Structure 1
């Protein structure tokens, strides 16, 4: 596929995506300053997630398939997701009940957006503080669970290129140990279509999968290995399946190396 049509579709999508995000953030932010969290602002947040999935499908040509929601236990839990694109944020949202996303401080400091995020249970993390930021995050996480939220965290802390080497942070381990609730791993392959820093969103089917929950109470090192193995193994499988079925995007040398490495890791 030539890049011209996908580039045009991507530009149109970003105009719609960024435009409506700004408008919705301003509305929710203003309402939040006056009345806090309301049914109206929560409805707008749900609309934002739903509409982005639709815009991706009809403008950029990216379909969304999510499976395994039956693996999310009732009550409080942590949802720990692979993170490869903005798709990950709104694609898993409809399955999380009342989510409390872990959000970096830089985003929370944006006027209107930050006000909106706080009213929608988002939890701030200052990554510049490193380990010192975790106690503050834990206080907010306990409070969110008390409000009936499910904590949503991206354990690597930032978006990663598709099939890039894993780099899990310690925050998820501390959270698992202290909150003493199940952790639901999430695998996905969205980076093949909407990659980190990619100028083009490529048509295809982005897939995400909620995996069986990891029970609370395991030793930290055992939990960390189970989480990493679950997410990375299934993410590799979803990504290789997409590659084998044929991608519309070109496979550059860097991606080709990562694909080859994933095939070697495959059980």
Structure 2
């Protein structure tokens, strides 16, 4: 019975979460057209709404640890669910993402994504995608801020191993920016698929930044070790031992 009630609460939460997106998109549309700051304000408002409704509708709270960056850096995060996208974006002042090129045609998400500085790339063409990321950032077409990237490229469930893709290392080497790793255990509460959301406290931990200057192999090994070790620790804190 308890599971069924939580499932129903999760369903209602999911519905209102997605309905809130076009509502806020329409409300903030004039401001977003005038300036990217309007689009950024809209996205932060949406994050606040989702985190607030999650806290009382499904009993899921978010805890931040460490220092979220405010300068121009890359944020390399563990990716386990839709909520980590929102939570990490909401923690930084001017986040932007590398997004699938097809998403730029999606209503609301696509247009606001482009307005806040997201970089659309065709992930089916890996080499060209990396070159485009670099060109957009270096040319100034990409707005300044915190470039949020997912080294594993997709959502990975807690306890599942998946390799870290070299694109993150190439960006680190070519851009010469610090990288702030982020660990999380959100996947224990908000899985990759399905409606059910588990109550509890999900943690997002901003780890010490990795400064520029490391060779590619050393950087990739350090990034993976730090994110995976911290994420495993957060999983264990929540009672998961995969």
TM-score (norm 1): 0.84
CA contact (8 A) 2:21 2:108 kept: no
**Match of residue 35 from structure 1:** 34
Q: Are 2:93 and 1:97 aligned?
A: yes
**Match of residue 20 from structure 1:** 20
CA contact (8 A) 2:119 2:142 kept: no
CA contact (8 A) 1:193 1:202 kept: yes
Question: Which of 170, 173, 176 in structure 2 is aligned with 1:177?
Answer: 173
Q: Matches of residues 1-267 of structure 1 in structure 2 within 5 Å?
A: 2-28=2-28, 32=32, 34-37=33-36, 39-69=37-67, 72=69, 75-143=71-139, 147-243=143-239, 259-260=241-242
Question: CA separation in 2, counterparts of 1:215 and 1:80?
Answer: 13
- Unpaired runs of 5+ residues, structure 2, are none
CA contact (8 A) 2:40 2:94 kept: no
**Deviation for aligned residue 1:83:** 0.3
CA contact (8 A) 1:162 1:195 kept: no
**Deviation for aligned residue 1:151:** 0.8
**Deviation for aligned residue 1:28:** 4.9
> Cα RMSD between the aligned structures?
2.1
Alpha-carbon displacement from aligned partner over 1:180-230 (angstroms, at most 9, x marks no partner): 011000000000000101320111110010000011010000000000000
Question: CA separation in 2, counterparts of 1:241 and 1:222?
Answer: 29
TM-score (norm 2): 0.92
3-state SS of paired residue (1:202): coil
**Deviation for aligned residue 1:126:** 1.4
Question: CA separation in 1, counterparts of 2:104 and 2:154?
Answer: 15
3-state SS of paired residue (1:207): strand
CA contact (8 A) 2:14 2:195 kept: no
